[in-house]
Amino acid sequence: MTEQSSYTPPKVWTWDKESGGRFANINRPIAGPTHDKELPRGKHPLQLHSLATPNGVKVTVLLEELLAIGKPAEYDAYTINIGDGDQFGSGFVEINPNSKIPALLDVSTSPPTRVFESGAILLYLAEKFDAFLPSDPSQRAECFSWLFWQMGSAPYLGGGFGHFYAYAPEKWEYPINRYAMEVKRQLDVLDRNLSSRQYLCGDEYNISDMANFAWYGALVLSNIYEAQEFLDVTSYTNVFRWASEIRERPAVKRGQRVNKVWGPEEERVPERHSASDLD
């Protein structure tokens, strides 16, 4: 892993379809659809097209939390299998030109409102239903700060550390060290903040906790990338305590199953159209 790379970047980069490792079959340097495919439409005002990755779980957890407190947030959830390239279908690209999950269509507005990027969806739903978003300006700003901190930090965890540690065709010491250092720094940021707070913003659970739990909770509790030991995640005791508490919330347990197409059969709920689909 310490050998010098023989690669010399060309003057102008060109796409090699054979490069890219595990995800080479779905990666490309251009946007837009690759095929025509209309999206299904359910009976509820909120139409979610997603997958139970960390970014998808953020939204389904919020929707289940909203339903748990009696908000009229019923929704239809359809699976977008990113391994199969569903995100490049024409219907999906219409609601998310970036071809990433999750994407939401609110058909209760005229015209229907599309929302893409998981953080934007969390904000949209929290404002729409006036829940899980502080009303006090200072607390609201704190919530926004931790929400956008997660949005800016997760690429280092997923696309950086996760890619080079777990998915890249070869193990290279420099990128693994670089991203491991940054992920541990991020865990330390969370751990220090949570040393004096129950939740990220204080005593109240909100969308910033949901967003961060989906990534960092999974890292310390679920061994994503099989990196728990490598990153010594249990040493971040405040993060572990916070994540463990959130994991026990009934709505979180429900939300984590929506659009899940792997794992034990009883945990999989590829589509969700009513509460009974999770019972």
With 80 as the cut, is the pLDDT of residue 46 above it?
yes
Contact 78, 49 (CB under 8 A): yes
Query: Could you tell me how many residues make up the chain?
Result: 279
pLDDT digits (tens, 9 = 90+) for 106-115: 999 999 999 9
Q: Which of 53, 62, 48, 46 is nearest to 210 (CA)?
A: 62
pLDDT confidence bin for 1, thresholds 50/70/90: very low
pLDDT confidence bin for 153, thresholds 50/70/90: very high
Domain made up of 46-132+261-278: CATH architecture: 3-Layer(aba) Sandwich (3.40)
Domain ranges of the chain: 46-132+261-278, 137-247
With 60 as the cut, is the pLDDT of residue 2 above it?
no
pLDDT score at 223: 86
Measure Cα distances from 46 to 8, 18, 49, 228 in Å: 49, 39, 10, 36
The two three-digit tokens of residue 125, written as one number: 């739903």
pLDDT score at 24: 73
pLDDT digits (tens, 9 = 90+) for 48-78: 999 999 999 999 999 999 999 999 999 999 9
pLDDT score at 58: 98
pLDDT score at 3: 55
CATH 1.20.1050.10 fits 137-247, yes or no: yes
Full-model pTM: 0.95
pLDDT score at 104: 98
Continuous segment of H or E residues that includes residue 104: strand 103-106
